[in-house]
Amino acid sequence: MYVTTERLCLRLLFLTLVWASSQLLAVDMFLESGVARVRYVSKGTGEAVVLIHGFAEDLEKGWFDTEIFDRLVASGYQAIALDCRGHGKSSRLRRVDQYGRHVIQDLVDLLDQLNVEKTHVVGYSMGAAIANQFRHRYGDRLLSVTLSGFGKPPLPEKLTEALVQEIEGNLARMGLLAGNDPRSLACLCVGWRQWEVSDAALKGNSVRSLALIGADDFFLPDTKQLLAEMPMIKLEVVPGDHGTARSHPKYIEALLAFLQGS
């Protein structure tokens, strides 16, 4: 078929735009992990960095809105962010026994699906608790761990359906849960205790670690206590509080310096 120069140029331009779009956009992917369908995005090449968001967030709020995901990619890393089960576009499971240790297994299954043998892990707030438990159980798969906005929220001693319903009602009244299912998040809260790490396990840490937190974060005392209990961890304090520290330029600067070995 005869193709004019003009039509050929248009075709080449179209293919170039398609290629460019594929480089700029992180496409939703899904992992089947047990009964959960977990949404994630992955972009870039180089050492992997898995990003775990905070409670009642999703990967956009945690890592795209703060530009951390894109800065990691631009700095030569493979950035991987997921919606933890119960959040975002991942399965909103409604039983306590579908959270806890299963969230840790989601990370293992995600790394296996992406053929990532070793990775950096960055967790914020709730994500820091998940990252710390992952460090304890699967330290051999880590290049480093960053526990950011790390704190120890009060956890229930007795797990009952009445407790789940009480938490569900409280969450529904809090106002920060737009787009979330209070029942799913209540079940996650009750299962949070399975992410706790014992003092002995903290003292036995062998993974290069960073505690990264805002100067006005209400969890700063918890983070400082963590440093007293855990070897091989350094502290970086940046401007901001629990909600704003990730958006400050000093946050990504400190994170990149740590990942690069400074």
User: Domains of the chain (ranges plus CATH)?
Assistant: 26-259 (3.40.50.1820)
Q: Length of the chain in residues, anyone?
A: 262
Mean pLDDT, rounded, for 171-176: 64
Tell me which residue has tokens 């170039």.
16
CA distances from residue 151 to 113, 145, 196 in whole angstroms, order as listed: 30, 15, 11
Over residues 126-168, the pLDDT tens digits come to 999 999 999 999 999 999 999 999 987 666 666 667 777 777 7
At residue 75, the pLDDT reads 98
How does strand 36-43 pair with strand 78-82? antiparallel
Nearest-angstrom CA–CA distance, 45 and 52: 19
Cα angle, residue 97 at apex, residues 124 and 114 outer, rounded to 5°: 55
- What is the pTM (predicted TM-score) of this model? 0.87
Reading the block at residue 6, the tokens are 């003009």
Listed in sequence order, the residues at least 6 apart from 211 whose beta carbon sits closer than 8 Å to its beta carbon are 146, 147, 148, 150, 223, 226, 227, 233, 234, 235, 236
Q: Which residues contact 108 (CB under 8 A, 6 or more apart)?
A: 138, 141
pLDDT digits (tens, 9 = 90+) for 235-245: 999 999 999 99
Beta bridge partners of residue 33, listed in sequence order = 36
Instruction: Please write the tens of the pLDDT for every residue from 12-52.
Output: 554 444 334 434 567 999 999 999 999 999 999 999 999 99
